[in-house]
Structure 1
Amino acid sequence: MSNIYWPVYKNLERGVLDLSYSIHIDDTQLAVYSSQISDLILRASAEIESISKELYKQNGGIKTERIKYDTDALVHLNDLWKLESKIVLISSTNCFQTNKELKPFIQDEASTIHGRLTYSWNNSYQNLKHDRANSLNFGSIKYLFDIMSALFILNLYYKSESILLYDDTNGLNFPISLGSDLFSIKLHKWVGHDGEFNFKKENDFDECLYYVHYTESTFEEVKAGSEKAQEKFKKLVEEHPKYIEYITTNLHNTYQGDNFAYDILGQDEHFKITIESHREYFEILRKANYEAIINKQDF
Structure 2
Amino acid sequence: MQTVVRHLTTHSKMNNNLYSSVYRNLERELVSLSNLIHINDEQLKIYSIKITELLIRTVVEVESISKELYFANGGEKDDDKDLFFDTDCIQLLEDKWKLSKKVIFVSSPNLYFEIDDNKVLNPLKKANKRGSSSSDWLKAYQAVKHNRGKNLKKGNLKHLIRALGGLYILNVYYRDTIFQLEKDGTGTNFDSSLGSELFSVKLHVSQTISIDKDYTLNPDFDECIYLLKATDKTREDVQKSLKLINEKTNERVKNNLTKEIQKHLSTIKGSDKEEVEKNLKDVVSKIRSDIQIQVAKENGLKLKQTFENLRYEGIINKQQFE
* TM interval, short-chain normalised: 0.7 to 0.9
Question: Offset of 1:196 from its aligned partner?
Answer: 1.7
- Structure 2, unmatched stretches of 5+, are 1-11, 263-276
Matched, 1:5 2:29: no
Corresponding residue of 1:120: 136
- Once the two structures are superposed, residues 233-252 of structure 1 have per-residue CA deviations (whole angstroms, 9 ceiling, x without a partner) of 4455567xx4584699xxxx
CA distance in 1, matches of 2:306, 2:211: 16
Question: Aligned runs of 1:105-184 on 2, under 5 Å?
Answer: 105-107=124-126, 114=131, 116-184=132-200
Tell me if the contact between 1:218 and 1:288 (Cα under 8 Å) persists in the aligned partners. Answer: yes
**Are 2:48 and 1:50 equivalent residues in the alignment?**
no
Q: What SS class does the counterpart of residue 167 from structure 2 fall into?
A: helix
Distance 1:290 1:87 in 2: 22
Equivalent position amino acid for 2:29 in 1? G
Counterpart in the other structure of 2:40? 26
Distance in 2, Cα, partners of 1:151 & 1:59: 17
Cα deviation, residue 58, structure 1: 1.0
Q: Which one-letter code corresponds to 1:96 in the other structure?
A: Y
Partner of 1:104: 123
State the shift of 1:12 in Å: 0.7
Contact 2:210 2:239 (C-alpha < 8 Å) held by counterparts: no
Moved more, 278-287 or 126-135: 278-287
**What is the rounded CA distance, in whole Å, between the counterparts of 2:62 and 2:250 in structure 1?**
56
- How much is the aligned-residue C-alpha RMSD, in angstroms? 2.7
| Identity in percent | 37
CA offsets, 1:1-51, max 9 Å, x none?
A: 311211110011000100101111011211111111111111111111110
For normalisation by structure 1, the TM-score amounts to 0.86
2:269 aligns to what? none
Which moves more between the two structures, 184-193 or 43-52? 184-193
Equivalent positions of 1:1-299 (< 5 A) are: 1-2=12-13, 3=16, 4-66=18-80, 67-98=83-114, 99-107=118-126, 114=131, 116-197=132-213, 199-235=215-251, 242-243=256-257, 245=259, 257=281, 260=284, 262-263=286-287, 267=290, 270-299=292-321
TM-score (norm 2): 0.81
Q: Which runs of 4+ in 1 moved over 6 A?
A: none
Label 1:259 to 1:213 Cα distance change in 2 as closer, same or farther (>3 A).
farther
What is the distance in 1 between the residues matched to 2:70 and 2:28? 27
Is contact 2:245–2:292 with CA below 8 Å preserved after alignment? no
Per-residue Cα deviation, 1:214-246 (whole angstroms, up to 9, x for no partner): 11221222233333333344455567xx45846
